[in-house]
Each structure stands twice: as C-alpha cells, then as structure tokens.
Copies of this chain bind each other. A is one copy, B any other.
C-alpha cells in the first residue's frame, strides 16, 4: 500500500501532497514508535482488514520520496487497530484522495530530539 501511494505520486509528478484513503487490505504491517528508545516496533496483522482511514503526506528526505501515513484498521468483529503504515500491507481495494501542495515543499530532516525525520521549513504551520 505504501509503495502504491508512492507510485501514484511519482507517476503524476507530485512531490508534495497530503492524502487520505479508505478501503480494505489482505494483511497489514504497522508500527508503533517507541518514544524512549527512538525506534519503530513492528506489528503484524495477518488477516483481511477494513481500512477505516489512512491519512498522511508525501514529501522528501534529501532526494528520496517519503510517504508518511497512519492507518486505522478494523477486523471482522469491528475491533479497531492502527499505527504507522509500513511496507508489507497488501491492498485488496482502495480509494485514495491525493491533494498536491503546489508551492509548498515538504522536506524532512532528522530531528535528534524525537529521533524522527520531521518536516522542516514550513514555519508555524507544523510547529506544534
């Protein structure tokens, strides 16, 4: 799913964008960011799931395209799960809305406080 979203962006020449998606996946790999140890811990959901929402953005880290998305999923009982969207999430069906940010460049830089590649140079808009 991550690669598919990236492919849509690249195929359409979109460098900076926000996106949201709903749909269904055959399985999912998500992660939880350990704020103390500053690393992602993977979680594997090996069953068909609804995608209740996947929200995020497309930007750049150096010359690399970065898709950053958080996904909310539900299982056959309606229970909801979620985390940071990782590679290894297989799309069954998906509807994506991608909104290009014209004139805005989402550039990421490593931030040592959080250990994350955070969006820079957008002034107040991301400084919360």
Contacts and interface: CB of A to CB of B under 8 A. Distances in A.
Interface string A65-77: 0001111101111
A22 B82 contact: no
Nearest to A106: B95
Contacts of A91: 128
Interface string A28-53: 00101111100001010100101111
B74 A83 contact: yes
Interface of A: 1, 4-5, 7-8, 11-12, 18, 20, 22, 24, 26, 30, 32-36, 41, 43, 45, 48, 50-53, 55-57, 68-72, 74-84, 91-98, 111, 114, 116, 118-119, 124-128
